[in-house]
Amino acid sequence: MFYPLFTLIPGVHLACIVSANMHTLSQNKDTTFNSRYELGKECESAKRALKREFGLRRILGRSKVVQKLHEKIDRISSCDVNVLISGETGTGKELAARAVHYLSSRACKPFIPLNCGAIPENLFENELFGHAKGAFTDARLQQAGLVKEAEGGTLFLDEIGAVSPYIQVKFLRLLQDSEYNPLGDSRSQKADIRIIAATNRDLAGLVQEGTFREDLFYRLNIVSIFIAPLRERKEDLPILVEHFTRKYSREYNKPIKEITEDAMELFSSYPWPGNIRELENKVQQLIVMSTSPVISGGDVRLPASEVHAEEIGTEYFKVAKKRAIDAFERSYLLNLLTEHRGDMVSAARKSGKSRTALWNLLRKHKLSPKQFRY
């Protein structure tokens, strides 16, 4: 199905409109530029800058790994070649594919994603190439396939390693000759599309095993992009957690104001085998289940917490004791102030501590009553 451009990346569509409007103005009014040619160059430069911003802004992070990824996407997007994106599940391969598309000359044309692993083989050819009227019993009307819908734009083939040898032959012809035949139609049709494929499998290994065609692999792998797993870019965790917290706080109308340091430590200690997708799901779960404007380490339940507890058991006794006391104090303060919505008088009365002692504990754990007033 074709999705209009403005529903995906509004800014890119806006860039095209801005460029067109500026060109119109240049025909009707005097400008300070020496020529329309120079104005056109300025318009193109502005359009490229906007597309770059909207194409890359969803790939979040400031690590060297992400910076190099941005640079590579920026460099290859202007070259109309096939791209193979590899990386573990949940690393953001489709985001990278969309960035390549929206930074390319095909940005104002469709981006059509296809999950190759989700379509049965007997339906794959029809889904991809469409069919002619009368091609089979229920084919009462002609139907275009995804290749036709992607005309002029980009066809994104996710999980390319899952396709059968028969479908691989069909892909090879599409890549090699830019031609295909709808089911039941003997006439070939030309395809003006860019192919971006993605996989979480070792395609070179599949070639060695004989389950993936070597010629198709080389056709797809003209330019390759590797998306690093989240465990290799832990410095991006705070940015990602903040982004997902804002996103789901707005969506569920939850006044989450802080992710505490001990919660972030737990996030950092976990290897995230499901990568960014798993992190997003965990943050979403925490927001949904939260009863406090502060998410602390006590709210986070991760397999890494068990490893962390084992490490504590081998520590020097005083260190382990202090860690346990600090964790208890912080958890107690969070629950206490949440219950009394930041009212120090009633909180002190409930806890049996003086307000001065309670204030000292809050300062120790970098908490403020204001965080709990909502």
What residue type is assigned to position 38 of the chain?
E
d(CA 158, CA 219): 16
Lowest mean pLDDT among 314-328, 341-355, 356-370: 314-328
Q: Which of the pair, 372 or 99, is modelled with greater confidence?
A: 99
Residue 334's contacts (CB-CB under 8 Å, 6 or more residues apart) are 292, 294, 296, 298, 367
Q: pLDDT above 70 covers what percent of the chain?
A: 79
Look at residue 282 in the predicted model and tell me its pLDDT.
93
Residue 7 has pLDDT above 70, yes or no: no
**DSSP bridge partners of 204:** none
Residue 270 has pLDDT above 60, yes or no: yes
Nearest Cα residue to 230 out of 42, 357, 12, 60:
60
Buried b (16+ CB within 10 A) or exposed e, 41-80: eebeeebbebbbebbbeebbbebebbeebbebbbebbeee
- Three-state SS at 216: helix
Residue 213's contacts (CB-CB under 8 Å, 6 or more residues apart) are 165, 168, 169, 172, 207
Q: How confident is the model at residue 134 (pLDDT cuts 50, 70, 90)?
A: low
Residue 206's contacts (CB-CB under 8 Å, 6 or more residues apart) are 161, 212
Q: How confident is the model at residue 153 (pLDDT cuts 50, 70, 90)?
A: very high
* Alpha helices (H) in the chain, listed in sequence order: 10-28, 36-56, 64-76, 93-102, 121-129, 146-149, 165-177, 203-209, 214-220, 237-251, 261-269, 275-289, 304-313, 317-339, 344-351, 355-364
Residue 240 has pLDDT above 50, yes or no: yes
What residue type is assigned to position 57 of the chain?
R
Note whether 245 and 257 are within 8 A (CB): no
d(CA 163, CA 203): 12
Look at residue 320 in the predicted model and tell me its pLDDT.
63
pTM for this entry: 0.69
Residue 281 has pLDDT above 50, yes or no: yes
Look at residue 8 in the predicted model and tell me its pLDDT.
38
Burial class of residue 171 in the structure, from the number of CB atoms within 10 Å of its CB (0-12 exposed, 13-18 middle, 19+ buried): buried
Residue 132 has pLDDT above 50, yes or no: yes
What average pLDDT score do residues 159-188 get? 89
Q: Could you give the C-alpha distances from 3 to 7, 189, 251, 281, in angstroms and in order?
A: 7, 23, 23, 25
What average pLDDT score do residues 102-120 get? 91
Rg (Cα) of the chain, in Å, rounded? 27
What average pLDDT score do residues 162-180 get? 91
Residue 237 has pLDDT above 90, yes or no: yes
Look at residue 34 in the predicted model and tell me its pLDDT.
60
Residue 251 has pLDDT above 60, yes or no: yes
pLDDT one-digit tens code per residue, 320-351: 677 778 888 888 888 888 888 888 888 888 88
Look at residue 58 in the predicted model and tell me its pLDDT.
84
Residue 184 has pLDDT above 80, yes or no: no
Q: Which of the pair, 320 or 30, is modelled with greater confidence?
A: 320
Q: How confident is the model at residue 149 (pLDDT cuts 50, 70, 90)?
A: very high
Average pLDDT of the chain is 82
Residue 47 has pLDDT above 50, yes or no: yes
Look at residue 50 in the predicted model and tell me its pLDDT.
64
Q: How confident is the model at residue 3 (pLDDT cuts 50, 70, 90)?
A: very low
Q: How confident is the model at residue 218 (pLDDT cuts 50, 70, 90)?
A: very high
Residue 279 has pLDDT above 80, yes or no: yes
Q: pLDDT above 90 covers what percent of the chain?
A: 44
- Three-state SS at 254: coil
**DSSP bridge partners of 84:** 197, 224
